[in-house]
Amino acid sequence: MRSISAVNRSRFTACVMATIATSLVLSGCGTTDASSGANRATREIVVGAASDLRPAFTKVAADFTSASGIRVTLSFGGSGQLKRQIEDGAPIDVFASADRALVENLVDQGLAQQSSLYTYGYVSLALVTAQGIAPASSISALSGAEYRRIAIANPAIAPYGRAARQAIDRTTAGSEIVDKLVLAENVADALRLVESGDVDAAIVATSLTKSTLPPFSLTTSEVSTSLYDAIPQAVAITAINDQSKLNARAFVEFLKGPSGKMTMQAYGFRP
């Protein structure tokens, strides 16, 4: 019986096309104001920022908005991940990377403005110990038996992971520590692991430990800068349309200016 119940295939195809068209129109209707670059409110920018910048940029953006009236949407992620999104056309107007090399690569591709490139700081590591564990004062102390698992960001994709690994390798008991490493997706993730007590210690970005967001009560100590190479961190404009470029320029200038500089220094970034 089924063999002859021929379904009108052309009618089906027509239905499919109509549905797809309708859906695109529908999803457009509800969202054009927010989605399309051309229609975006002219006093608004999207800043894609490395996850170590969350506390610092939350403050900078708030100050910038009250000074300029330009709204800032912050999208946090791994630097490599954000770079890839920009390459894939994400509507990010300013890219703040934890590693200047990624921004330079975008400049080479013509996706970021050479003239706007600004080094806002250098990778700075802090050692964080979980609650209830004897605080570690230096990386070499991590070889001790009380530190069973130690989190760092994945060195393959995160600049902070790269620096942390370098610091461990330059420590005398480095190979013992390497065996205890847990690789987190990014530096914020490494901090989350130590906060929850899933690991006993973590090597993270100094800026994250300066967070004013409660409750940050973990014991921290600076990691000697002699243990890792200085990795410069930079920001650049990646906006496409002219109005967004102007707004993005204003944000970068604000970051370079006294208020921005002061905030960044408070969070441990030094140009």
Per-residue binder mask for another protein (CB under 8 A), 45-64, x = binder: -x----x--x---x--xx--
User: Coil, helix or strand for 46?
Assistant: strand
> Would you give the distance in Å from CA 69 to the centre of its chain?
24
**Of these, 56, 70, 80, 91, which contacts another protein (CB under 8 A)?**
91
Alpha-carbon span 253 to 235, nearest angstrom: 11
12 binds another protein (CB under 8 A): yes
Whose CA is closest to 162, among 140, 190, 194? 190
Tell me how far CA of residue 204 lies from CA of 63, 70, 94, 143, 183, in angstroms: 26, 31, 24, 17, 12
Per-residue binder mask for another protein (CB under 8 A), 163-202, x = binder: -----------------------x-xx-xx--x-------
| Residue closer to another protein (CB basis): 75 or 115 | 75
User: Judged by CB under 8 A, how many residues of this single chain contact another protein?
Assistant: 56
Provide, rounded to whole angstroms, the least separation between the CB of residue 190 and another protein: 10
Alpha-carbon span 96 to 54, nearest angstrom: 11
| Residue closer to another protein (CB basis): 95 or 228 | 95
- Is residue 96 within 8 A of residue 120, CB to CB? The reply is yes
Residues 16-35 within binding reach of another protein (CB under 8 A):
16, 19-20, 22-24, 26-28, 30-31, 34-35
156 binds another protein (CB under 8 A): no
264 binds another protein (CB under 8 A): no
The angle at the Cα of 185, spanning 252 to 223, to the nearest 5 degrees, equals 75
The token pair that represents 213 in the structure block: 């967001």
For residue 124, give the amino acid letter. S
> Would you give the distance in Å from CA 115 to the centre of its chain?
22
Q: Which residues bind another protein (CB under 8 A)?
A: 1-9, 11-12, 15-16, 19-20, 22-24, 26-28, 30-31, 34-38, 46, 51, 54, 58, 61-62, 65, 71-77, 85, 88-92, 186, 188-189, 191-192, 195, 211, 213
